[in-house]
A and B are shown apart, each in its own frame.
Chain A
Amino acid sequence: MSMVDDKVPEALPRRSFDWRFFAEMPLASKVGLAIIAINAFAVIFAPWIAPYSETEMFRDLGNWAPPSAEHWLGSDQIGRDMLTRIIYGARTTILIALCATLLSFSMGILAGFTAAVMGGIVDNVLSRIVDALMAIPTLILALVVISVLGTEIYILVLVIAVLDSTRVFRLSRAIAMDVAVMEFVEAARLRGEGLWWIMRREILPNTIMPLIAEFGLRFSFAFLFIAALSFLGLGVQPPYADWGGMVRENAQVISYGIPAPLYPAGAIALLTIGVNLVVDYILARQNRSAAAAFEEQEL
């Protein structure tokens, strides 16, 4: 080697997934990961791990029974096992949020990247539509639409996805714009590469981490959102078990000192905390200030 000039950084392992992602995780984020895993487990195996059936009423137990050895979290307003309801409730609430997030992500990223790369009129039209939708608080707009369309589950998913995709659009457009002005993208354009190649090979690999973090944030947004709607009585309707709805159904007894609504509300809080702990770590890892991400998050 004739010319090794300045200090050369040491070679690092590359390619395959970097396992240090987990190894270097602080305890808090590991806890977050565990919370997510437990919830995922509950969603998948609900019928096997739930102690009782979803609809079984325990007459002898009565309504709002206190926790006991047989019923760890007591019973709900019509004498069903609270723990069972919460485990089944995970299914409804989390799956709706997941569907909405996946949908909003596909729409948002596609539109965002297209706007960033095509520019011009396409960008302008898409951006103005998003501006207009974002000018109205999300919850208010959702209430307006639901008042007419009703509360079918597919409608809820669609409404949340469309409203949420505006934020995905903004972020993915901004990230793609940042990358698109880098000289290596200019170099690819000068080489004569096509649009699709530039999007897929030059831009996407450099945006993947922020997008994963954003997925977490958007999921917790959609999740809190569906919970809030159900809490207001405008989301998932009975007889489905659903965390937001369970808070609502049990709310009245809090005044009598019975903590029943706190269990489902706590379950909601726990999962979002878990997701945010992991997202925080991803963001810190790629040196994007977590504060900036918090700023984007909004209900």
Chain B
Amino acid sequence: MSDLLLEMRKLRVEARGADGATNAIVNNLDLKLARGEVLGLIGESGAGKSTIGLAAMAYARSGCKITGGEIIFDGSDLMLQDADVLREMRGVRAAYIAQSAAASFNPAKRLNRQVCEVAVRHGVMDEDAAVARAIELYEKLDLPDPRNIGRRYPHQVSGGQLQRVMSAMAMTCGPDLLVLDEPTTALDVTTQIEVLATVRDLIRQNNNAALYITHDLAVVAQIADRVMVLRYGELVEEGPTDKILNDPDEAYTKELVSAREAVIKPRVQVALPDNPVIAIRNVTASYDGKVDVLKNVDVVIGKGETVAIVGESGSGKSTLARVVTGLLPPREGHVEFQGKRLSQALKQRSRDDLRRIQMIYQMPDVAMNPRQSVAEIIGRPLTFYFGLTGRKRDERVRELLAQIDMDPVFAERLPGQLSGGQKQRVCIARALAAEPDIIICDEVTSALDQVVAAGILKLLDRLQKETDIAYMFITHDLGIVKNIAERTVVMYQGDVVEQGSTVDIFTPPQKEDYTRKLIASVPEMRTDWLDEVLRERGDLFEIDAKAHT
């Protein structure tokens, strides 16, 4: 293969833990990448995909070390080169695009200084030529005011734009290889689609070879020619993108493909409930008394019903949860619980009111006291609300553990001794222990890997069937909403844009432009999705101008 650009043979990368023990985060990995080819590396956290991407540039993060194998870049083994040769190659022949542009730009230096640094420091061009090249790239990447944007500091530019400036930085020296490490993950969906499109065009125009690293199969499907599925630092399956998406061989890949698509709720039309459990009436709320984060919000949730509150960052969806729980008394409006008006502030609510509204958080790590055992965490509401103690309490804790599919032996463990999914289960059990009428779920799956998240969603659904509990399900992830919620509320900058039956909201044509744009931006598991969306974009992205000023 004469057009082979990068080859890894039996790559092994080890990490040294705090206790001095080493463990392999990448083991025995073979990888081939031809010129002009885009290879997707996909896997969940701990799969070693970023480590492989960095190893392509013969780089290991601190605490890690490439301990075995060969990395052959354009015919020479990088493992045998000395530091100066590697340094000359980095940035010029191989360039890296990181997940968070906001964190990857030096906050103390102007953008142009950083973009041009590669070319100038490696002696590829002088300062003036490099700036001219940068401006040319900014233009190509549709950045506003390309002549002057480089004079700004990173904090003066929006996240989506920064990500594009970083792409420009990677392209200045015209590298043969691009390593893209989750370049769109930190962005809101509507911004992600923009960046995804520009990044793809860039790779195609320049005929770069690229390693595209992501946890999201739907994203990689739009860009990659071929996909490698990784787990625990080893290869699970490799093949053309179409094959992996539509006809995977391995069970793990199948699980990964279906995780997003898990249909839990029947997709039927539902009407507004007559006697809602919770009714949020014309709530306007503000943290500082000046800027309203919620504007006249009106939402009802019925018994045994799941209502999804969706929106991007800054939409006010989490603030809504704070109003319902009483942490943030609204400026106007009120919250009703089973027809009875609730006190605005937490302190004035009765213990029974508090019991009936429970909450589950995004980060189970910080939602549980690290010094209390699972039994104490689940047992406290039992004592507090029902006066259960001693054997009766232990008995009930065991029942609750069984309800969340966990063995009773976990009762004596501390949160630090549980996996991410188990922690979230314990949080669910703690909420259940109070025997509430409604549970507010605030982004409960976004910190979890997709397969684990799917398990949590199924558990929540089963519990709802058993106890007829209502969920207020706050999320930014529209992909899961249509599979779990009867009704959906779309929020944007503190306003309810649209609400109704999930089927209605998701069936085109949508009534509201923003809803349409939001739903269209959710990547789908097929290779032609991005092209299709871009063809139809038209007026869809005019809102963009508003969102990014």
Contacts and interface: CB of A to CB of B under 8 A. Distances in A.
B405 A7 contact: no
B325 A190 contact: yes
A282 B216 CA distance: 41
- Secondary structure at the A interface, as helix, strand, loop or mixed, is loop
A5 B422 CA distance: 8
Contact of A206 (B349, B369, B407): B369
Contact of A183 (B326, B366, B373): B366
A186 interface: yes
A239 interface: no
B500 interface: no
Nearest to B413: A11
B141 to A, nearest CB: 37
Contacts of A202: 369
Interface stretch (B178-186, B204-212, B449-457, B534-542): B449-457
Max chain B C-beta neighbours (<10 A), residue from A2, A5, A10, A202: A5
Given A3-B455, A192-B354, A9 B416 contact: yes
Contacts of A6: 44, 46, 419-421, 449, 452
B362 to A, nearest CB: 9
Contact of B405 (A2, A10, A182): A2
B346 A190 contact: yes
Interface string B401-430: 000011100001110111111100000001
Contacts of B384: 191-193
A14 interface: yes
Interface in A164-194: 182-184, 186-187, 189-193
Contacts of B380: 191
Nearest to A183: B367
A286 to B, nearest CB: 12
Contacts of B354: 190-192
A187 B359 contact: yes
A4 to B, nearest CB: 8
Nearest to B367: A183
Contact of B346 (A9, A12, A189): A189
Contacts of A2: 405
Nearest to B359: A190
Given A191-B354, A192-B354, A205-B369, A5 B421 contact: yes
A23 interface: no
A1 B405 CA distance: 7
Contact of B368 (A7, A11, A184, A205): A184
B451 A5 contact: yes
A182 B372 CA distance: 14
Contacts of A191: 354, 380-381, 384, 434
A205 B371 contact: yes
A187 B455 CA distance: 24
Nearest to A187: B367
A4 B405 CA distance: 9
A140 interface: no
A12 B414 CA distance: 9
B414 A3 contact: no
Nearest to B412: A14
B292 to A, nearest CB: 23
Interface in B376-414: 380-381, 384, 405-407, 412-414
A4 B409 CA distance: 13
Nearest to A8: B419
Contacts of B368: 184
A3 B421 contact: yes
Nearest to B45: A6
B417 A9 contact: yes
A189 B384 CA distance: 12
Max chain B C-beta neighbours (<10 A), residue from A8, A183, A206: A183
B361 interface: yes
A4 B452 CA distance: 9
B405 A11 contact: no
Contacts of A182: 366
Nearest to B349: A192
Interface string A196-216: 000000100110000000000
Contacts of B373: 14
A101 to B, nearest CB: 25
Nearest to A186: B327
Interface string A1-32: 11111111111101000000000000000000
Interface string B516-541: 00000000000000000000000000
Contacts of B420: 5-6
B419 A5 contact: yes
B107 interface: no
Contact of B417 (A10, A190, A206): A10
Contact of A1 (B46, B407, B455): B407
A203 to B, nearest CB: 9
A184 B421 contact: no
Interface string A147-163: 00000000000000000
Interface in B38-86: 44, 46
B351 A192 contact: yes
A235 B67 CA distance: 61
A114 B229 CA distance: 53
Given A1-B407, A5-B451, A206 B422 contact: no
Contacts of B125: none
Contacts of A186: 327
B405 A3 contact: yes
8 contacts: A3-B405, A6-B44, A6-B452, A8-B417, A14-B413, A187-B367, A189-B327, A191-B354
Given A6-B46, A183-B363, A192-B351, 20 more contacts: A4-B422, A5-B420, A5-B422, A5-B455, A6-B419, A9-B416, A9-B418, A12-B414, A14-B413, A183-B366, A184-B368, A186-B327, A187-B367, A190-B326, A190-B358, A191-B354, A191-B384, A205-B371, A206-B369, A206-B370
Interface of A: 1-12, 14, 182-184, 186-187, 189-193, 202, 205-206
The 4 residue pairs across chains A and B that have the minimum distance between CB atoms: A5-B421, A205-B371, A183-B367, A5-B452
